[in-house]
Amino acid sequence: MPKLTQPSRYAAVAAIAALSLAACGSGSSDTPAANPSGGPQLVSAGNLTVCTHLSYKPFEFKDDAGKVVGFDMDLANAAAKKLDATVKLVDIEFASITSGAVFAAKKCDLAMGAITITDARKKTVSFSNPYFNATQALLAKKTAGITDLSSLKGKKVGVQTDTTGQIFANKNKDANGYDIVVFDDLPTEVTGLQAGRVDAIINDNGPLGDFAKSNTDFSITKEFDTGEQYGFVGQKDDANSTKVMAAFNEALAASISDGSYKKSYMQWFGIEPAVMPSAS
């Protein structure tokens, strides 16, 4: 999901956002908890604090009981167990995650949210080992006659702000003659399609496929091989964050080896993973 700014602007964005986030925080939870055993210091004692931007089903979303569940949550819980901690979630703007502001402000230990690993983002944050392969997809009503980008001429396409889907749509806009409507998050993007504000939407294939399962008037009409991989995110060039990320990578490798990764994948996506991530 990279932010549409030039690399030279990342530092300024992170600094401004960090000041804003820091001003909002107070209390002992904002001070990293010391760990005399040599393990990582966590933002909140006994908790692996994970920033995300809800909702992005089936990766992270609230179930009927209001509990946050999903594929990413399973991996976060595994990492927390590795650290003898419990996951504590912070729902926050996606751009403040990819800019690194949430880490500068000590708001979280890790971040998740089906975040595509890109060279631009590596300038501001660190990434875990890849845990998921993704591609962009086009979703439209089955009766709309939209089969690919070329059939969108003169139509409106919805995208989610600060995502690789937005970049992909912008890159192909002039060649295919469509207009772009930007939404703040996935739920409003999908609602825009249902309400007829846009003729189609572009986003990652995972959440759009999940939506189409329970909304049979809509379907993914085209997937684009963008070769994306997701990673969990941490603070760049920080020794403590490196320890937290190492725990996540170890938990990921263990889940692949013991079969829990495959079990979780099948639970949330209904199929076996076509390609398993590396266990190393």
Q: Domain with 80 in it: what CATH number?
A: 3.40.190.10
Lowest mean pLDDT segment, chosen from 32-41, 67-76, 251-260, 262-271: 32-41
What single DSSP character describes residue 33?
Answer: B
For residue range 19-53, what is the model confidence (pLDDT) as tens digits?
Answer: 344 434 333 344 455 554 567 999 999 999 999 99
Q: Does residue 97 sit in the same domain as residue 175?
A: no
Provide the terminal-to-terminal Cα distance of the chain, rounded to the nearest Å.
24
| 164 domain residue, yes or no | yes
| 2 domain residue, yes or no | no
| 38 domain residue, yes or no | no
Which of 228, 246, 261 is a domain's end point?
228
| 39 domain residue, yes or no | no
For residue 35, the model assigns a pLDDT of 53
Buried b (16+ CB within 10 A) or exposed e, 51-64: bbbbbbbbbbbeee
Q: Does residue 16 sit in the same domain as residue 115?
A: yes
Distance CA 237, CA 54 (A): 27
Partners of 220 in beta bridges: 139
The three-class DSSP label of residue 226 is strand
Evaluate if residue 6 carries a pLDDT over 90.
no
Q: Does residue 83 sit in the same domain as residue 13?
A: yes
The pLDDT confidence band at residue 276, using thresholds 50, 70 and 90, is: confident
| 276 domain residue, yes or no | no
Task: Tell me the CB-side half-sphere exposure of residue 86, using CA atoms within 13 A.
Answer: 3
Query: Which residues make Cβ contacts (< 8 Å) with residue 279, sequence separation at least 6?
Result: 252, 253, 256, 257
Q: Does residue 109 sit in the same domain as residue 247?
A: yes
Q: Does residue 89 sit in the same domain as residue 189?
A: no
- The DSSP bridge pattern shows strands 132-141 and 125-127 to be unpaired
Q: Which of 207, 205, 128 is nearest to 168 (CA)?
A: 205
Q: Does residue 153 sit in the same domain as residue 264?
A: no
For residue 38, the model assigns a pLDDT of 65
Q: What is the pTM of this model?
A: 0.79
Q: Does residue 12 sit in the same domain as residue 53?
A: yes
Domain count for the chain, please give it.
Answer: 2
Lowest mean pLDDT segment, chosen from 13-27, 90-104, 146-160, 216-230: 13-27
The pLDDT confidence band at residue 220, using thresholds 50, 70 and 90, is: very high
Q: Does residue 86 sit in the same domain as residue 99?
A: yes
Evaluate if residue 139 carries a pLDDT over 50.
yes
Query: Which residues make Cβ contacts (< 8 Å) with residue 85, sequence separation at least 6?
Result: 42, 46, 47, 48
The three-class DSSP label of residue 244 is helix
Q: At 172, give phi and psi (nearest 5°).
A: -105, 5
For residue 199, the model assigns a pLDDT of 98
Expressed as residue numbers, the domain containing 235 is 7-33+46-131+231-269
Distance CA 113, CA 76 (A): 11
